[in-house]
Amino acid sequence: MTDISKAGTFKLGDRTVKRLGYGAMQLAGPGVFGPPKDRDAALAVLREAIASGVDHIDTSDFYGPHVTNLIIREALHPYPAGLTIVTKIGARRDDKGAWLPAMAPDELRQAVHDNLRNLGLDALDVVNFRRTDGLHEPSEGSIAKEISVLAELQQKGLVKHIGLSNVTLTQVEEARRIVPIVCVQNLYNIAHRNDDTLIDALAAAGIAYVPFFPLGGFTPLQSDTLASVARKLGATPMQVALAWLLRRAPNILLIPGTSSVGHLRENLAAAELDLPADALKVLNGIADEKAAA
């Protein structure tokens, strides 16, 4: 079995977690909507993740909606000691599966209570406020009102720690003036590196950075350079992409998602993949290739 501790650890709230975690988004049905095609397989993936040493799961009650949280509860409750479950709020789904903003104070409060109920928890380990204005690209604008709602819920004991998603450095700084921020979750991968400056700023502050779509998301990473390096290393392109992220900065936590036990094992094996200096230099140029294309 892969030793994911080789990827190291980083602080997340009041816990230290292994840097390779698991993202539950793909446990829902197609388009992250409705039930999974195979519920037993979804349960098996979660249990395999825990058996493999994963101690950090990323989810949201708007996956499904409600689907992934209920599956997590069924598979893992009562939860293992040391497991950190991170959820996010700020969006909702309509009856056709569209993603809609849900950032009003009452919507944020209701989302926290929905997550608590569906996960079977008295308090949420970490709640990320997910800005939904710009889909997967952050846009400027004050988030003080929304963060103040989370700070209120934290004071009531319903939320232990607060994070942010789809935000800019300016918004991170604004939020930190209101409440401690333990993590930021933005779009970032080997081909999409707009957050380089933000990652380094967060590392200096001891704040975790969690890239969503670390493998490209709904459009998986495609790069001849990535494939070539992978062949030379005897690995898959996705393993190399994950290993590159682990090398990029010590505060990066990974949450690759899958609904397959085999794919889960493949992702976790990236913890043991060494990237030699020459391969790293080539991989660092992939973002430039994309920009020039």
Q: Give catalytic status of residue 63 as yes or no.
A: yes
Cβ neighbors of 6 (< 8 A, separation 6 or more) are 271, 272
Cα angle: 207, vertex 210, 212; to 5 degrees: 155
Q: How many Å apart are CA 185 and CA 211, to the nearest integer?
A: 6
Structure tokens at 212: 């969503």
Give the active site residue among 63, 79, 188, 209. 63
Nearest Cα residue to 123 out of 162, 180, 76, 176: 162
How many CB atoms within 10 Å of residue 17?
20
| 15-18 and 9-12 beta bridge pairing | antiparallel
Structure tokens at 201: 């700023």
| 91-93 and 99-101 beta bridge pairing | antiparallel
Cα angle: 37, vertex 40, 41; to 5 degrees: 70
Which residues are marked as active site? Answer: 63
